Amino acid sequence: MTHLAVIALVVLTSSWAGAEPAAERPAFATVKPEVQVLVQTWLNKNCGAAEQQRLETQLRATGTVLEPVFWEAFRFGPTEQELKEVNGAVAKRYTQRQSWLRQFGDAQMGREETARQLAITERQYADRERAQYTERYKTAAVAALGLIGTKQSEAELTRMADDDQNPAQISAQEALKGIRRQRDR
């Protein structure tokens, strides 16, 4: 992760922590600022394998103090500030997408599919992007529990892993494997 990205995450975390009263994110509010940055980096990660490994190592080293923080992130999802930032980025991507579709869509996807894609409204696109972001955020929280979770988390993760309707089902199954690997070491 570049130095500029780390600075952006610190600013994001600072604005996030200020925008969310401690009463709404009590577990997050209890951890040190540098740990808050680690949590936010993990929840919003988009990195390569080396960075992923480094984050996993840091989460394990921080330990079970993060368990309630990640459960909180899973239950509440992204903050209002994070969703506002996603909304801003979505509007720009939608405009770029529409331009690309008009310019290259017919050649790349055919006329029918291009017409179908162009018919998606900005609102529909934004709703889908927000839903996908929220799902990724929550499944990242569950994945972190696989790295640092305890037996206390196993029961809830087991319920999630057994629920075919739960969008985090696969993440919960993987988290359970992770918890069991950690315990068997």
- Reported as a single tens digit per residue, the pLDDT across 73-85 is 999 999 888 899 8
Distance CA 15, CA 113 (A): 40
At residue 25, the 3 state secondary structure works out as coil
Distance CA 156, CA 11 (A): 33
Grade residue 12 by pLDDT with cuts at 50, 70 and 90: very low
- Reported as a single tens digit per residue, the pLDDT across 103-113 is 999 999 999 99
- What is the distance, to the nearest Å, from the Cα of residue 55 to the centroid of all Cα atoms in its chain? 14
- Reported as a single tens digit per residue, the pLDDT across 119-158 is 999 999 999 999 999 999 999 999 999 999 788 889 899 9
Instruction: Give φ, ψ of 21 to 5 degrees.
Output: -55, 145
Domain map (residue ranges) of the chain: 49-184
Sequence-distant (6+) residues with CB within 8 A of 168 are 74, 135, 138, 139, 142, 160
DSSP assignment, residue 149?
-
